[in-house]
Structure 1
Amino acid sequence: MRSSKENDLMFTYLNLINFKAWRKTGSIALKPVTMLLGTNSSGKSSLIQSLLLLKQTAQSPDRTTHLNLGGDELHDYFSFGEFDNVLTQGTRTPRQFSIAFAFQRQKPARVQAGSFEAAYGQTSSGGIAIQELCLSTDGRRFRAIRREKGAYSVMVDDEQQPRGKGRHLAPERSIAFPAEAIPLLDKDGPLLEDLSLAIRRELVNIVYLGPLRRKPERDYVWNKSMPGEVGSDGHRAIDVLLSSALTRNGEQSAIIEGVSNWLARMKVADKLEVHQISRSTRYEVVIHRDGVAANLRDVGIGISQVLPVLTVAHFAPAGSTIILEEPEIHLHPLAQSVLAELFVELSRERQVQFIVETHSEHLFRRMQTLIAQGKTKPEQCAMFFVERSKADAVLRPLEVDEFGTVKNWPPNFFGDSVGEARAQAQARSERLRGAING
């Protein structure tokens, strides 16, 4: 069912310079549904990783850290290694990389729109330090600029004279100015604090599900509580479904209903249920299809791999940005195409944003069809093709009109389907001629 309400946008653009494979992305327009397509090792995942790097920094227990490159397997999404592992190879002076993004909210909030930009360099001791941090909102711009010996100058707008200088003014977790900087800003101090909190909210509200998802168990223990997150490998997805099935909370119970409905739309199952095993504290997930009920462990791997995708799409709070890598893995073509409907419908109904890295032609083609049918609009979705030009990643925004037609189709986008059909026809013709002449 199509809703008339507009999406409450989250991230609106991303811009990377000298970040891993990206010499310079330019401003990448992010929409309620954004799809990243391209070959393996083209740089798609690096776009996603830039936001996850900031997320794990914003959530770092050490407020003095400038950038958390990871290493804690329990709490970090990625281990980026060292500075040179992040910096684009061949980068000359200045040896810096930068990440920038903007966000926007339509719902009432203290800060409805803002932007973040940070440039990072390497210290003499080999660590990473912010060279310049710029946070902007409502026509105001707050900057922290690194000077000699680790001191920072705090600047506002285009002022030439800093409001203050010193090592004590170093930024915190990449997203905030220290408490000592706030009094220097007079009446703008509270605005900067609100902006930092808004930026932190956008980053913390990122929900990430990677391409390697955990295989199902035969049964599970329910601890009678709803988990806080699904996990990057989807290992808590079943816990979410158990809580949804076994609680009387209307909002929570709707999760398993939604997941079950989408499994049916994908034609991979008729419905999903949770059954208690005897009178124990253990439960099994049961899949119904064609009159047969089977344990999740005994059905095709595609169902268990898509369950975390469907679960996180219904479980992530409104206002979240859901980042998915290869959501189509192990699914048959029809189910892959229905994922496009999931993203379009739930982004609007649940007010969540999807950023999807995919290799699926079927998912992409269905997105074109949804645009042609008027079920979504080109301005509500963005599609990008990522390719390599020698060592550097290159981004090609796909120009899609209101009928779903791509105006700048890259050569061999999903292979040469026309060429394959021509080769098949030629081979068939030659074999038939050979049979007749023989």
Structure 2
Amino acid sequence: MFKRILGDRSGNFGMMTALLLVPIIGTAGLALDISDALLVKTTLQGAADAAAIAAVAENSAGVSEAMQMSSDGPLTAAIADATKIFVAQAGSGMGYELVSTDVQVVKTGSELKAVFSYKAKVPTTLARVLGQDAVTVSGTAEAVFQTQTFRDFYLLLDNTPSMGVGATPADVARMVNNTSDQCAFACHIVKDGTEDKNSYYNLAKRLGVTIRIDVVAKATAALMDTAKSMRKSANQYRMAVYTFGEKAEDTKLLEVASLTENLDAVQTKAAKIGLMSIPKQGYDNDQQTDFDRALKNIGTLVGAAGTGVSAGSPEKVVFFVSDGVGDAYKPSSCTKRTTGGRCQEPIDIVECTALKAKGYRIAVLYTTYLPLPTNNWYNDWIKPFQAEIPKRMEACASPGLYFEVSPSEGITNAMNALFKKIVSMPRLTS
């Protein structure tokens, strides 16, 4: 009988299944538990990032404390703020046990650095059959703020003929109602150095119509006052101003003001920026808005991007103001249909991407391209991609540095707001 029992093989499948069931369930459960742990880590990492950035934000208690310190050291107010932010962002009832947190916010010279680290345990479910009661997750977030970050600003202002449109819907309507062809553009016609007194540019002046480029010039000049009021030393911010050219016969990157810390001189020159002139209607098939060339040429002027920690290593910021519609000769690389090689398109972001890859930050102020329903050219060529213009302009900008200003808003206020955002934004370093 004993031999028969030893030789009996019936029921093997059931026994093997029973033996393998534990590791199978444990392995499957571990995968699910790890997935849950990753979700918890994502939540906690986001909370840590928010805490680190908040600790050294320009208007934070930590920065205020640092400004009053005569020497380096920890910032107790910032540490307390970071902890509160982390707790608020992390939430509760997420199915984890917070094991530990550590916050260090220290002032070293002109740099404030916040480091927030955390560790938590996420209880397991099915993986417990393998003896795994919890999965540990941890992470660190760092943010840096320069109490005196040095920056060079290169303002690239679109002054091409499309910026001769009325600055507001009321200005557009006034031009349309006072021109035989219902034209909303104040074309600036200058031939052989002689101003055409009958051009729509002069008509706009007689009618008291404000055109877009005039508002941009005024806003750029006013921006210098903002920069002067916010800088902590005379050489903290340097400015240079460029346009797309003075006249259509010689379109090129035109230096209005070279890079300098003398913002009063930049202000005087910027206030005189005018609309690009054309020798006649339809000159060069209206191909004067070459964004690719302008942005590429700016890249050759800017030089290597610095860290901002000293006047000898300034950050580089391209401050780009435009209505976002390119009009240039691009017979093969245009993103939209062409006519005779003429390319009308929302800005192609290839050169924007190249600048950002060099370490430059791009701040974009999009002056909303106004619909012109009475204009056949607009209806045929621009209206089909009107909705894409702001999306492309935002894609050109560095994260967080895009601003659209509608006709009913003030371009001066918009430029100031974007500038303030640039100079107050802490950098997340990890």
Fold shared per TM-score above 0.5: no
Larger RCO of the pair (alpha carbons < 8 Å, separation 6+): 1
TM bracket, shorter-chain basis: under 0.3
Larger helix percent: 2
Normalising by structure 2, report the TM-score.
0.25
Question: Larger Cα Rg: Structure 1 or Structure 2?
Answer: 2
